[in-house]
Amino acid sequence: MKRCILILLLSISVSASAQAKPTEACPFIGFESDSQKETNLAEVNTKTPALMWTACDSPTGCFSLKLDPGSPVLIYRNNGEWTCGYGVDRHGAAPAWFRTKDLRPLKFTTAPPIEAWYGVWKGGGDRVAISASKNAGELRLVGNAIWQGANGNEHFGNVTGNAVPIGNRLHIVDGGCVIDLTLAGKYMLADDNQGCGGMNVRFSGFWKRASIGRAATAKP
């Protein structure tokens, strides 16, 4: 009987350990475009929405949110059973802890052909169009972004610039607006200097190709 009780207690202990949630924060650290660092992306690899846990360092502990299957996740760090990253789907985005087994690493080239940039890219309600410039080896970017607040309050941002990609990175400067882009397969990551439009307007985040074209134009 004592042996059975011991085995049962050990089983409960192992089960509780496997189900334990993270106790440290998974903070938002941006969309790193440093050419010295390799971008690490994954997608949710579950048939139903995967759980992600946030605010794990709070006095009350984690609370869970759901992320749609196939949604992209920018990986910040891995801690064995758990992975800290920034997930995005149709409902919103947040930095959070994911069960590592729920994510599938994405592979992409860091030396894509220039044509891989062409097309209209969508980030929420914002648009960026990338096409061939008149100069060989150079890309032209035209983008529009909007921030919508309460009571119909809206702020807008626009950017136009030409630049030569270096590997899978593109550095765009338009006056006081600076945007760094990283092409990662079917996704594009953007990081801006918060100088590309009105208050709260950002070009930062995940972008997904909406259409392919050499001379597409972004729409407001």
pLDDT (tens digit, 9 = 90+) per residue, 138-155? 999 999 998 877 777 778
Q: Which two tokens stand for residue 51?
A: 């759980």
Mean pLDDT, the chain, whole residue set: 84
Q: 119-135 burial, b if ≥16 CB within 10 A, otherwise e? A: bbbbbeebbbbbbbeee
**What residues does 191 pair with on adjacent strands?**
180
Q: Does an H or E element contain 49, and which?
A: none
Q: Which two tokens stand for residue 25?
A: 């924060």
- Alpha-carbon Rg for the chain, nearest whole angstrom, is 21
**Number of helices and strands in the chain (H, E):** 1, 15
**What residues does 63 pair with on adjacent strands?**
54
What does the alpha-carbon distance between residue 170 and residue 35 come to, in Å, rounded to a whole number? 10
The residue count of the chain comes to 220
The CB density around residue 23, as the number of other CB atoms within 10 Å, is 11
Q: Which two tokens stand for residue 81?
A: 């059973």
Helical H runs in the chain?
2-19
Confidence category of residue 87, pLDDT binned at 50, 70, 90? very high
Q: Which two tokens stand for residue 75?
A: 């990986």
Can you give the pLDDT at residue 200? 79
What does the alpha-carbon distance between residue 70 and residue 50 come to, in Å, rounded to a whole number? 10
Confidence category of residue 219, pLDDT binned at 50, 70, 90? very low
What does the alpha-carbon distance between residue 71 and residue 110 come to, in Å, rounded to a whole number? 21
Q: How many CA atoms lie within 13 A of 181 on its CB side?
A: 28
**More reliable by pLDDT, 212 or 179:** 179
What pTM, to 2 d.p., does this model score?
A: 0.81
